[in-house]
Amino acid sequence: MQRATRLKRELQMLSTEPPPGITCWQTEERIDDLQAQIVGGNGTPYEGGLFSLEIKVPERYPFEPPKIRFLTPIYHPNIDNSGRICLDALKLPPKGAWRPSLNISTILTSIQLLMAEPNPDDPLMADISSEFKYHKQQFLEKARKWTQEHAVQKNTGVLDNKENTPNQRAVSRKREAISMQQDADDAAKKTCM
């Protein structure tokens, strides 16, 4: 009951006063299915990239947090290969810190902050996390490389519009491929779930 009125207001605010570097919109006419984009922050290895996210709004929202996942592959200690994000605000208490005073806009801002400042002590990707801690240069290079490969819009000119969709599909397939390949050894390493 509260979900509809609240989302209506949130979408209105997101369209009139979006947080810096963030866009969020409704996909088709479904109120529970949103899409967002976060611009990679300056001075981070994600600079120059545009990261797409998928937001599923549960029936009991805002009493339950939205389910948010990266669609664009991202090399980050707290984001796994299928795009899942380890952020306490995305989980209900007592494990998490979701509360109805947060909203989609503030959550997206927290994700933007998490991108700039990973939290290696609560890692989802143990390998990336230890790399972030002990081989920072190597981490930064890889993260930048992933950004260039998956998150940079290649504006090639006239045909751009037509190419956009297949491009995204290719990216998505690629991500799934990486994810399948690594899924097996990931399971044991995850501490943040």
Partner 1 sequence: RGYEHIVKQVNHTCTLLLEVGLKSRPECRSIPPPQYYSQLISEMETLGWDKLLFIDTEFQTLRLKAEDSSGRQHILTVKLKPKHPAEAPECSADLPLPLDFTWTPQSTLDQLHSQFLLVLESLSDFWNILDEIDSQTWILEPEKPSRSDTTRRIAIGNNVSIKVEVDPRHPKMLPECCLLGAEHVVTPLRNKLNANMHMWNPDSSVLHNLRDVLEIEFPSPATHEKSSFSVECGICYSYRLEAAIPDQVCNDPRCGQPFHQACLYEWLRALPSSRQSFNIVFGECPYCSKVRHKI
Per CB under 8 A, does 58 bind partner 1? Answer: no
Per CB under 8 A, does 190 bind partner 1? Answer: no
Per CB under 8 A, does 16 bind partner 1? Answer: no
Per CB under 8 A, does 1 bind partner 1? Answer: yes
Closest by CA to 127, choosing from 84, 182, 45, is: 182
State the nearest-atom distance from the C-beta of 66 to partner 1, in Å.
Answer: 14
Buried b (16+ CB within 10 A) or exposed e, 157-170: eeeeeeeeeeeeee
Stretch that binds partner 1, among 4-12, 116-124, 129-137, 171-179 (CB under 8 A): 4-12
Instruction: Show which residues are catalytic.
Output: 86
* CA–CA distance, 171 with 149 (Å, rounded to integer): 9
The contacts of residue 66 (CB under 8 Å, 6+ apart) are: 34, 55, 56, 57, 58, 90, 104, 107
Per CB under 8 A, does 166 bind partner 1? Answer: no
Distances (CA, A) of 41 to 11, 45, 109, 191: 23, 8, 11, 27
Q: Which member of 17, 20, 59, 101 binds partner 1 (CB under 8 A)?
A: 101
Q: How many CA atoms lie within 13 A of 131 on its CB side?
A: 16
Structural Rg of the chain based on CA atoms: 17
Cβ distance to partner 1 smaller for residue 6 or 69: 6
Q: Which residues pair with 69 in a beta bridge?
A: 54, 84
Per CB under 8 A, does 62 bind partner 1? Answer: yes
Closest by CA to 73, choosing from 97, 49, 95, is: 49
Q: Which member of 20, 94, 157, 166 binds partner 1 (CB under 8 A)?
A: 94
Stretch that binds partner 1, among 24-32, 41-49, 78-86, 87-95 (CB under 8 A): 87-95
State the nearest-atom distance from the C-beta of 85 to partner 1, in Å.
Answer: 22
Cβ distance to partner 1 smaller for residue 107 or 124: 107
Note the residues at the interface with partner 1 (CB under 8 A): 1-2, 5-6, 9-10, 62-63, 92-94, 99-101
